[in-house]
């Protein structure tokens, strides 16, 4: 079965907004999500009952092909229960409940790598109800896609079909019922995806 790998703190400005070190560090921060977390457009995205603050984290998602190379990419959201994550960090507990809950991995359509800009110069945006909330550019990643894939392959052994969430730029924030989220990339219209947050 494929694995969903996720990278933490891969953009300095986001690391700073979380109060974390903005250095690349000796190793990538890696966590996993279960496959039950995946949601295709348009959702709806169901915010977990009882959750007070589910944050959007817009990210480039890479699908792994033969030889641990990038085969296709999509835009997705690493949805995060921020209060739970903060409590887990404080208690030294895992992030699975904060970042791996049902529906925590909305991912748009995959586009072959050959059909998009170089993966180290790909700009993308997330708008919520028409207002830009996050702007990312993979040229600002602390670790490039190629570096991440090599590091993950070395540590875990990548398989064809694995997905890698490559980290979020600054501008994360809470979602509310009924909002419309649109992901888009410059020069790659096929990467666009639209998700709707379920009404309360």
Return the number of other C-beta atoms located less than 10 Å from residue 169's C-beta: 26
Give the C-alpha separation, 85 to 192, whole Å.
Answer: 28
Give the C-alpha separation, 187 to 200, whole Å.
Answer: 35
* Per-residue mark of binding to Mn ion, 151-190 (x: CB under 5 A): -----------------x----------------------
Give the C-alpha separation, 113 to 62, whole Å.
Answer: 9
Residues 42-61 that bind Mn ion (CB under 5 A): 57
* Per-residue mark of binding to Mn ion, 71-100 (x: CB under 5 A): -------x----------------------
Q: How far is the CB of 167 from Mn ion (least distance, A)?
A: 6
Can you read off the two tokens belonging to residue 80? 């995060």
CB nearer to Mn ion: give 71 or 78. Answer: 78
Separation in Å, CA 18 to CA 11, 71, 86, 89, 172: 11, 31, 10, 12, 9
Q: How far is the CB of 182 from Mn ion (least distance, A)?
A: 18
DSSP state of 49: T
Q: How far is the CB of 44 from Mn ion (least distance, A)?
A: 21
Q: How many residues bind Mn ion (CB under 5 A)?
A: 3
CB nearer to Mn ion: give 114 or 136. Answer: 136
**First-to-last C-alpha distance (Å) of the chain:** 34
Binding site for Mn ion (CB under 5 A): 57, 78, 168
């Amino acid at each position: 079965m494929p694995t969903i790998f996720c990278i933490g703190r891969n953009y300095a400005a986001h690391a700073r907004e979380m109060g974390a070190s903005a250095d690349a560090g000796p190793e990538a921060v890696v966590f996993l999500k279960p496959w039950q977390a995946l949601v295709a457009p348009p959702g709806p995205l169901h915010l977990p009952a009882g959750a007070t603050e589910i944050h959007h984290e817009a990210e480039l998602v890479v699908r792994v092909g033969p030889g641990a190379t990038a085969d296709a990419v999509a835009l997705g959201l690493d949805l995060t229960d921020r209060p739970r994550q903060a409590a887990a960090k404080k208690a030294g507990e895992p992030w699975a409940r904060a970042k791996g809950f049902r529906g925590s991995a909305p991912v748009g359509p995959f586009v072959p790598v050959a059909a998009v800009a170089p993966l180290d110069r790909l700009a993308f945006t997330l708008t919520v109800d028409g207002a830009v909330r996050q702007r990312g550019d993979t040229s600002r990643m602390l670790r490039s896609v190629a570096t991440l894939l090599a590091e993950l392959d070395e540590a875990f052994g990548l398989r064809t079909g694995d997905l890698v969430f490559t980290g979020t730029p600054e501008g994360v924030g809470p979602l509310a019922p009924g909002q419309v989220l649109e992901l888009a990339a410059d020069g790659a219209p096929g990467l666009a995806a639209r998700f709707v947050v379920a009404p309360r």
